[in-house]
Amino acid sequence: MKTASLFIIFMIMALPCHGVSLVELQQSAMANRNIIEQYEAELDKSSQDVTIAGSRFLPTVGASYTVNSLNDSNRLGEVRENSVAQGLITWNLFSGFYDYYNLRSARLLEKAQNYKLQAIKQDIQMRVALRYVDIFSRQSSLLVARESHATLQRLHEDARNRYSVGLIEKNQLLRFQVDLDNAVIMVKKAEAELAKSLQRLIFETQQQLVLAELDFAEFDQLPHLADKTSYQADMLAQRSEIKTLEELAKAVTLEVKAAQGERYPQLDISGSYRKYEDDYISGDGTYYDEELRAQAVVSFTLFDGFARQAKISRARSEKKSVSAQLRELKKGLETELTNLFFDYEVSVATAAVAQTSIDQAKENLRITRLKYQEGLEKESDLLDAIANLARAKNSYVAARTEVFANYFKITRAVEEF
């Protein structure tokens, strides 16, 4: 059987009745994971912060009703039992640009939080993809283990027959038995690893799955990538973590300006209506007095205990910190992308070599088996040939797994999920 047949067998084994694709699994994960809800709540909090910051540009309307009880009427004409109803509208017209820069900063922080949400979605989709390819790998490894077990079982039966007629000695039969027992253990381990991989995918998607439902059509062919330069440009332009820090840097710059704006005076205007009446209940008195008042108030803080200068210094330090984080992040991501391309290229080359190794191992096993049957090879040589074929197949599975794992990591690096 040619090398391509091995992959076809893997595909046949994975064929589902109702296939669930990788995209569907990723969508399920984003719909069901609590961490998405957590980041969406944080984004909603940022939206409310924008509303709070914008409220400073709107007037404030209030009303009050006060009931007074004195021990006696006073000389100012206020009777012992009276009430005051009041309505008040205040509006800040100028606050040294503090409100203006604070609102712009809140909007930028909201954008930064949205980029954080996008980043966590990309991370979840990458983890689902890696769990998905891990299941494919474990299932392929299980098939290799079962094939080796079946081969050893046939050879063991043949050795028992040969032993029964005196063609081989008992110690030669026992060598087949030892390798057969080990093959049984390898099958059980492969089954356990496959079951654990499925549980990890169930956790990532928060969806109940069975192996028969999974559609591994994405692994029909090895993926191909463009040159690293284009991916690096896309990563620097699209990566949510970079955009998050860029928006934070802009927001911190505005916070510096907002803190500086506190040096200027504030201008507030207000209008009020006040009604005094000589009874606890408005409308029941015999005397009342009404007043309409308009006010313009200019206030200026002469000294605030150095708080303003400390706010400015803190905002400037935060700006330096965010800028340093941004530079460090870009360098780190560029290095990570370069290493991912190295790993991808190595895994593609390894997969090509592994394909050739399988053909060679199969031919070696065929020749060794013929020589063994003619008494020209020992049973240890035959068992070594079987083990070599299993190793070649497992190397092929591991290489393909690495190709797809690196491909998904590069896809995450440029946020193309």
Pick from 219, 222, 220, 216: which is nearest to 352 by CA? 222
Residue 162: what pLDDT?
A: 82
| Cα 150-155-160 angle, rounded to 5 deg | 125
pLDDT digits (tens, 9 = 90+) for 322-375: 999 999 999 999 999 999 999 999 999 999 898 889 889 989 888 988 887 777
CB burial class (10 A; 0-12, 13-18, 19+) of residue 25?
Answer: buried
Sorting pLDDT into bands at 50, 70 and 90, what band is 21?
confident
pLDDT digits (tens, 9 = 90+) for 285-312: 888 888 999 999 998 888 888 888 888 8
Q: Are 413 and 234 in contact (CB under 8 A)?
A: no
Q: Are 121 and 36 in contact (CB under 8 A)?
A: yes
Q: Are 221 and 302 in contact (CB under 8 A)?
A: no
Q: Which two tokens stand for residue 325?
A: 């984080």
Question: What residues have CB less than 8 Å from 167, skipping those under 6 apart?
Answer: none
Lowest mean pLDDT among 149-158, 184-193, 376-385: 376-385
What radius of gyration do the chain's Cα atoms show?
Answer: 38
pLDDT digits (tens, 9 = 90+) for 39-89: 999 999 999 999 998 988 899 999 999 998 888 777 777 888 889 999 999
| Model confidence at 379: pLDDT above 80 | no
pTM of the full predicted structure?
0.77
- Cα separation, 80 vs 67, in Å, equals 11
